[in-house]
Amino acid sequence: MRHLLLLLTLALFSGPLLAANPACEKMATEKKLAGAAKNSFMKKCEREQPGNAQAMCDGKAAEKKLAGAAKNSFVKKCLRDSSAS
């Protein structure tokens, strides 16, 4: 009986872990996030999930080999443009 209860409890709490978006998980890993920073990033990433504009804009910036302030500026403009359309 205890084992059954334990398995049911684990199954109940593992649902959100299995539902995590692999694209957001990959970006968090690439950014080397952990703990509260990772949780915050994952929530934001999944909130923006329709089409995942963040990943698209990050990909475009990578194609252009942008880094630092130039990348941040480009991604910010890309996200603004994607939300406008």
pLDDT digits (tens, 9 = 90+) for 16-51: 444 567 778 888 889 999 999 998 888 877 766 656
The answer to whether residues 57 and 69 belong to one domain is yes
The pLDDT value recorded for residue 10 is 57
The pLDDT value recorded for residue 18 is 46
Provide the domain limits for residue 32.
Answer: 21-50
As a whole number of angstroms, the distance between CA 4 and CA 9 comes to 9
> Within a domain: residue 12?
no
* DSSP 8-state assignment for residue 1: -
DSSP SS3 for 61:
helix
Give the predicted TM-score (pTM) of the model.
0.42
Total count of domains within the chain = 2
The pLDDT value recorded for residue 23 is 77
Distances from the Cα of 35 to the Cα of 3, 14, 28, 38, angstroms: 30, 17, 11, 5
The answer to whether residues 73 and 57 belong to one domain is yes
Residue whose C-alpha is closest to residue 22's, from 49, 57, 40: 49
Q: Which helix (H) or strand (E) holds 52?
A: none
> Within a domain: residue 1?
no
The answer to whether residues 56 and 70 belong to one domain is yes
